[in-house]
Structure 1
């Protein structure tokens, strides 16, 4: 594995000016984060309605991230895609919708018996493994996984930087953990997201420790949050 894991698809992008792209990505990052919080709040407000991961939720979060940046914002890819810097080849476009539904079923079927961190790790890996979009797979996977984690913990998690922000700061451990899970599936046919779980546990602890510091006035102010 070398460099950054990024999508390489056949679909052309909507914008080409680097400054305009950067501005739109920043705006969309805030929009996606706000939408994720809205989804979490809705679950927390209505505890009598068990959380269910739906493909529509995933598409909404992708739409928020890629709006105005890509012609397929909010839709599954319809072309082959490769992951730069990775040895994994995602499934063909024809199978994307089915794979996403199977992932959602796994999460919903095991909502009661899987831990919050395991659910989060599984979604984070599996969405990256499916790579259902022509672009924006990583940021959307991190947003969905964070929603799942928060919903399972029944809380708008306090503290910053958030888990997605910590991942964005140094993606190397994240990429290595994804590759380890990919390799495990390839070699044994078994799902092993233990490295992702270990990473997420540490990041969750750091986020909550920072929340405690903020509450006691020890932490500095943090910039707006996104899932980049």
Structure 2
């Protein structure tokens, strides 16, 4: 499967120069991850409360990723979107708010499930909904990682992090997404491949942390 599985929506980006855009995307990626870490810290430190995934958290992280790049940073798409090199056609933009709300409710209602399962579910479901005109993959990966970290009650040590590992080699990630999409056409949530991928990446991240600590 090709490494190109990008959103294709109306071309309304604020930066047209490829080099400038790449630089801004890298800077925003750092900002988005730092924002996620702040949410994780506050969530695992709030012993008197219970974390709940909300649309505002997702939009807040998306805004960090697309600020200065796209006029719809921090908001849902307002038009159809297509995914290059994929057989999946995301739902109409009018359905996005309700679908994201349902996704958040699913995670919150099933908080007793394992962190790997919830992270895998989010990674697939957010990509399936494709709620944004751009930045869907980046935001899905960081939201998935945030929920995994909060569920495990830790700022997970080690690098490369799971989002960085996915970004470095997307073919297994894309295959897992396509497999889950195909299963959902039959009304089945089948994310075992995504869970296995995340388990391996988590192990790799924690192993690196152990090796770094031993140096």
Tell me, yes or no, whether TM beats 0.5. Answer: yes
Using the TM superposition, give the Cα deviation of residue 17 of structure 1 relative to its aligned residue in structure 2, in angstroms: 1.1
- Distance, in Å, in 2 between the alignment partners of 1:110 and 1:3 is 32
How many Å separate the matches in 2 of 1:129 and 1:32? 21
Deviation at 1:10, TM superposition (A): 1.4
More displaced, 152-161 or 43-52? 43-52
Q: Distance in 2 between matches of 1:11 and 1:26?
A: 20
**1:17 maps to 2:17:** yes
Q: Is 1:140 the counterpart of 2:139 in the alignment?
A: yes
- Determine the structure 1 residue equivalent to 2:4: 4
**What is the aligned counterpart of 1:200 among 187, 198, 201?**
198
Partner of 1:118: 117
C-alpha distance in 2 between matches for 1:53 and 1:47: 16
**How far is the alpha carbon of 1:22 from its aligned partner?**
1.5
Aligned-partner SS, 2:20:
helix
Give 2:93's aligned residue: 93
Give the alignment of 1:141-220 within 5 angstroms.
Answer: 141-186=140-185, 188-217=186-215
SS of the aligned residue for 1:71 comes to coil
Tell me, which stretches of 5 or more residues in structure 2 are unaligned?
none
Residue 198 of structure 1 and its aligned partner are, at CA, apart by: 0.4
Question: Contact 1:146–1:164 (CA<8 Å) still a contact in 2?
Answer: yes
Alpha-carbon distance between aligned partners in 1 of 2:187 and 2:164, rounded to the nearest angstrom: 31
Q: How many residues are matched?
A: 215
Q: Distance in 1 between matches of 2:168 and 2:51?
A: 29
| C-alpha distance after superposition, 1:128-162 (max 9, x if no partner) | 00000000000000010000000000100000000
Is this contact kept in 1: 2:162–2:205, CA < 8 A?
yes
C-alpha distance in 1 between matches for 2:27 and 2:83: 25
Unaligned runs of at least 5 residues, structure 1: 218-228
The answer for the alignment partner of 2:69 in structure 1 is 69
Retained in 2: the 8 A contact 1:11–1:134?
A: no
Q: CA deviation at 1:3?
A: 4.1
Structure 1: which 4+ aligned runs deviate by more than 6 Å? Answer: none
1:12 positional shift: 1.1
Root-mean-square deviation (CA, aligned residues, Å) is: 0.8
Does the aligned pair in 1 maintain the 2:116–2:195 contact within 8 Å? yes
| Residues 17 and 11 of structure 1: CA distance in aligned 2, closer, same or farther (over 3 Å) | closer
Aligned to 1:108: 108
Q: So what's the TM-score if we normalise by structure 1? A: 0.93
Post-superposition Cα deviations, 1:28-58, rounded to whole Å, max 9, x if no partner, equal 0110010000000001111221110000000
